[in-house]
Amino acid sequence: MEKMIDHIRLAYNALEKVFVKKIYSDNAITEDDSNLSARITLGVLEKNVYLEYILSQIWKQEPNERVKIILKIGAYMLLFIDKIPDFAVVNETVNFVKNKYKDSLKSNNTQEKKSFNQSTYKFTNFILNSICRKEYKLPKEEDSNYLSITYSKPQWFIDRMIKEFGEGNTLKVLKDNVSVYDYEHIRINSRKDKDEIVHKLEESKSIIRKTLVGGYVVKKNDEIKKLFNKGDITYQSPSSMIAVQGFNPDSGLQILDLCSAPGGKSVYLGELCPDSKILACDISEDRLRKVEQYAKRMNVSNIETKVMDATQFNDKLVNKYDYILVDAPCTCFGTFVKQPDVFIQHDESDIDKLSETQTKILLNAFKYLKANGTIIYSTCTLFKKENDDVIKTALKSNSNFMLEKIDVDINNKGIIRLLPNKEWEGFFVAKIVKKGEN
Ligand SMILES: C[S@@+](CC[C@H](N)C(=O)[O-])C[C@H]1O[C@@H](n2cnc3c(N)ncnc32)[C@H](O)[C@@H]1O
């Protein structure tokens, strides 16, 4: 696919899914998307706050969501993709709008019909040309919105980060995070011949560096895809690996994963404890199919799946499990580098709602754990309300449960919190053990 308008169309389709249908970007971007369209999609999501700030200085009346998406695509290409000349960006974006208008006349979707009219292309042309002429201002360093606009993060996020982690740490988080379009973190299937796979990775010049957790940062290329499809490797973030490494590999155990889909941690646990049985649960039946596919691809056969709402107490599970993983549903704010749409999918009010859900799930997990058993509680989010506060509330009412050091190469007393940086996504892991008798 060569034509620029096709890249714009693919990016628009993915962004419509994210902004209008609230589908996560990793599901909205498909294999059929070109590298350029995926780059535009992720770029618009990453720069969303910045682009809205600029565009809202130019438009007199805020357009509807679909038109906004097109303007953001054009503005992103003008401001952040140097190799495409400005006139080409403006022309092709305007042509795309004309096509969208024609399509909308035939569409059965009333929202889409209402979104475009004859004058939308003139409006788009006007806005994009204003951007070319730099008819907007950016905040100065002393302005209160400077960090939010410069680093394209919601103002509430900056304020809360500073309040909880201080200005220095917040600046580090904002500055250390470069966009990662072309790299992935992988781990090698524990049951395969590691030396042979490393040799293939080296031969294809895929490895950028080895990581602290025993994985690799690699370039996305055909060899990586091939190894992935064969189940020799899998994509898994270092943080996700740490949560699993918090359990000691052992055999003959009953293991429960209460929020398991799409299966990254269950499958890794299955590899590390091949002679143990894992019950992988999730509230979503569809997502559990992904756990099954994942386990099949990695040749892991000790996982059974079950649809279950983990907030509801299940008396059949009481005192049955040696290890329980609570990789709780969360706001995912620690993943903003890879998933820049987390700020579109969630806002600050979700933090309180999810904290309640997480506490319910963890308190149920306490009831399902055998004496001397271990629970790992993890999230990929940052703020204390979904992390420390959940642990504190659960431990307060259960004196035979306590934190225990997580046996990995990071200094800790039972809790590891990492703010996002070049190496890590932001995440939180706590290890809790049950003393005494059932
Ligand atoms: C962070 S994801 C889990 C990721 C997974 N552990 C992995 O490593 O691939 C959280 C999961 O919790 C599930 N979930 C949300 N609410 C739930 C509930 N009440 N009970 C069980 N699962 C739930 C979601 O469907 C989602 O799959």
Taken as a whole, the chain contains a residue count of 438
Classify burial at 159, counting beta carbons within 10 Å of its beta carbon; exposed 0-12, middle 13-18, buried 19 or more: middle
Q: Are strands 401-403 and 427-434 parallel, antiparallel or unpaired?
A: antiparallel
User: What is the DSSP-derived secondary structure letter of residue 363?
Assistant: H
Between CA 369 and CA 396 the distance in angstroms is 17
What residues are in contact with ligand 1 under a 6 Å CB criterion? 240, 258-265, 282-284, 287, 309-311, 327, 329
Higher pLDDT, 104 or 153: 153
Q: How confident is the model at residue 99 (pLDDT cuts 50, 70, 90)?
A: very high
Atom of ligand 1 nearest to the CA of 265: 8
- All structural domains of the chain: 4-138 (1.10.940.10), 183-235 (3.30.70.1170), 241-434 (3.40.50.150)
DSSP secondary structure string for all residues of 137-150? ----TTSTTHHHHH
Residue nearest to atom 27 of ligand 1 (CA): 261
Output the CA 326–ligand 1 centroid distance in Å: 9
The Cα 325–Cα 429 span in angstroms is 10
Peptide bond into 63 cis (omega under 30): no
State the number of CA atoms in the 13 A half-sphere of 275 facing the CB: 4
Q: What is the mean pLDDT of the chain?
A: 94
In the reported structure, the alpha carbon of residue 376 is separated from the centroid of ligand 1 by a whole-number distance in angstroms of 14
Contact in structure between 383 and 428 (CB atoms under 8 Å) = no
pLDDT above 80 (res 1): no
C-alpha–C-alpha distance, residues 110 and 84, integer Å: 34
Over residues 299-341, the pLDDT tens digits come to 999 999 999 999 999 999 999 999 999 999 999 999 998 899 9
Expressed in angstroms and rounded, the spacing between residue 282 Cα and the centre of ligand 1 is: 6
The strand pair at 321-327 and 369-379 is best described as parallel
The secondary element (H helix, E strand) that includes residue 418 is strand 415-418
Q: Strand (E) positions, 226-293? A: 233-235, 254-257, 277-282
Predicted confidence at residue 402, as pLDDT, reads 97
* Average pLDDT of the residues in 26-49: 92
Torsion of CA 125, 126, 129, 131, to 10 degrees: -120
Residue 178 binned pLDDT confidence (cut-offs 50, 70, 90): low
Q: How far, in Å, is the centroid of ligand 1 from the Cα of 327?
A: 7
Q: Which of 69-83, 170-184, 398-412, 417-431 has the lowest mean pLDDT?
A: 170-184
H helix or E strand, kind and range, residue 219: strand 216-219
In degrees, rounded to 5, the angle at the alpha carbon of residue 170 between the alpha carbons of residues 156 and 75 is: 65
Query: How many angstroms separate the alpha carbon of residue 361 from the centre of ligand 1?
Result: 11
Task: Provide the whole-model pTM.
Answer: 0.92
From 148-157, 334-343, 371-380, 416-425, the region with the lowest mean pLDDT: 416-425
pLDDT at 32 over 60: yes
Ligand 1 centroid to 311 CA: how many Å?
A: 11
Taking alpha carbons only, the member of 70, 45, 46, 43 closest to residue 59 is 70
Using most ligand atoms within 8 A of CB, pick from 259, 380, 386 the residue to mutate for ligand 1.
259
SS3 of 283-314: the string is CCHHHHHHHHHHHHHCCCCCEEEEECCCCCCC
The residue assigned the tokens 């889409």 is: 112
Cβ atoms 434, 371 nearer than 8 A:
yes
How far are the Cα atoms of 148, 189, 230, 260, 347 from residue 251, in angstroms, in the given order? 49, 18, 26, 20, 42
pLDDT surpasses 70 at 29:
yes
CA of 73 from ligand 1 middle (Å) equals: 32
> Where does residue 257 fall: left (phi above 0), alpha (psi -120 to 50 degrees), or beta otherwise?
beta
**pLDDT 10s digits, 40-91:** 999 999 999 999 999 999 999 999 999 999 999 999 999 999 999 999 999 9
Compute the distance from residue 286 Cα to the ligand 1 centre, in Å. Answer: 12
Atom 6, ligand 1: residue with shortest CA distance: 260
Q: Read off the pLDDT of residues 360-382 as tens digits, 9 standing for 90 and up.
A: 999 999 999 999 999 999 999 99
pLDDT given at position 179: 59
- What residue owns the CA closest to ligand 1's atom 13? 259
The mean pLDDT value for 207-232 works out to 93
Residue 287: its pLDDT value, please? 95
Mutate-to-test residue for ligand 1 from 239, 258, 279, 283, highest number of ligand atoms within 8 A of CB: 283
CA distance 69 to 195: 46
Split at pLDDT 50, 70, 90, the class of 113 is confident
| pLDDT of the residue at 246 | 94
Closest Cα to atom 23, ligand 1: which residue?
283
pLDDT at 180 over 60: no
- Atom of ligand 1 at shortest range from CA of 330: 1
